[in-house]
Amino acid sequence: MIDVLLATYNGEAYLKEMLDSLMEQTIQDFHVYVRDDGSTDRTPIIIEGFRQAYPEKFTIIEDRLSIGNARDNFFTLLSYATQDYVMFADQDDIWLPDKIELTLSTMKSIRNGFGNSPILVHSDLTVVNETGVAIHPSLFKLQKLDPSRLHLNQLISQNNITGCTMMMNRALVRIIRANKQALMHDWWIGLAASAFGHIAVAPNRIHYRQHQANEVGAKDVKSASYFRKKLSNTGGIRESIQNTYEQAAAFLETYEDMLSAAQKDMICVFKSLGECNMLKRMHLLSKYKLFKSGVYRKIGQIIYG
């Protein structure tokens, strides 16, 4: 059995299509936990409609709290998961019919090699527009993300894991300790998986919808407009990098009892990079292999870190 955790907020425009895609999965051995964060549109009505139609499939979490962000909504949902495998779902995406089947197949093949270790499986995404028409076949390529970067020293500076593609095994769920300094739930969980377990990439079987209300959008980092926008906001670059240092410090504090000495040393170096001059920062980034992927990102780390 698989627990699917769906966080919603004012998602009426695309929610039914997403839920329909769940009900069309080739594997139906799953249960959906839905938590709405105070929607003011028809989202709660749509959710209730599916709960009534499929009472054995849906549980609605009604704690009447307004959390205010997707990160903490998903972390809250995680506390309700009890099954061997857990997946996150976004309210506006479309799961192709064999998404669960292929993700689970990848998980089981990895499990055969690593037993009861914490395991995270994720995938690429096909970017679609508001009407569901594909506009880019690969989020990895669109954002110049390298899915082979699976180690803690690589993920601590740059996330390449998208929450709505993830599947976690029970061993990973058990060690997740939520923290307000986490930049996003998927990044934080990815750090835990890379530090204490294993990460694998499954086939891409999800359509990631790009629209104005996305909390995190799919940006074409190769475009001239993206590059100009970044250069016009160097303060934003510095803030973004500083946020990764703060997340690293929080991860170290949260998991100090589980991290190895070498991991602690690497994290301490990473979170101190902002205090170094450019020459020393470049040396440490190279020595500990802390660089992000992409030439421009590396330059940004050196100059603005």
What's residue 41's pLDDT?
Answer: 97
And the tokens for 157?
């500076």
Terminal Cα distance for the chain, rounded: 44
Kindly state the DSSP code that residue 260 receives in the 8-state scheme: -
pLDDT, tens only, 32-68: 999 999 999 999 999 999 999 999 999 999 998 889 9
Cα–Cα distance measured from residue 61 to residue 204, given in angstroms and rounded to the nearest whole number:
29
Cα–Cα distance measured from residue 281 to residue 270, given in angstroms and rounded to the nearest whole number:
9
| Phi, psi (degrees; rounded to nearest 5) at 280 | -70, -40
And the tokens for 175?
């060690």
E strands along 78-193, which residues?
85-90, 94-95, 119-123, 126-128, 134-136, 167-169
* Rounded mean pLDDT, 261-288: 98
Q: Band the pLDDT of 211: cuts 50, 70, 90.
A: confident
Cα–Cα distance measured from residue 265 to residue 269, given in angstroms and rounded to the nearest whole number:
6
pLDDT, tens only, 62-100: 998 889 999 999 999 999 999 999 999 999 999 999 999
Name residue 151's amino acid.
Answer: H
Q: Which of 194, 181, 86 lies closest to 147, judged by CA?
A: 194
Cα–Cα distance measured from residue 98 to residue 96, given in angstroms and rounded to the nearest whole number:
6
- What is the sign of the dihedral through the CA atoms of 281, 283, 284 and 290? positive
Q: Can you say whether residue 115 is alpha, beta or left, with left for phi > 0 and alpha for psi between -120 and 50 degrees?
A: left
Q: Under CATH, what is the fold of the domain 2-209?
A: Spore Coat Polysaccharide Biosynthesis Protein SpsA; Chain A (3.90.550)
Kindly state the DSSP code that residue 184 receives in the 8-state scheme: -
Cα–Cα distance measured from residue 301 to residue 282, given in angstroms and rounded to the nearest whole number:
8
Contact 56, 30 (CB under 8 A): no
Cα–Cα distance measured from residue 185 to residue 100, given in angstroms and rounded to the nearest whole number:
20
| Phi, psi (degrees; rounded to nearest 5) at 196 | -125, 0
Q: Band the pLDDT of 26: cuts 50, 70, 90.
A: very high
Contact 5, 80 (CB under 8 A): yes
Helix 185-196 crosses helix 234-254 at what angle (to 10 degrees)?
Answer: 50
| pLDDT greater than 90 at residue 223 | no
Instruction: For the chain, give every domain's residue range.
Output: 2-209, 224-304
| Phi, psi (degrees; rounded to nearest 5) at 9 | -165, 115
pTM, whole model, 2 decimals? Answer: 0.93
Q: Which of 124, 152, 147 lies closest to 136, judged by CA?
A: 124
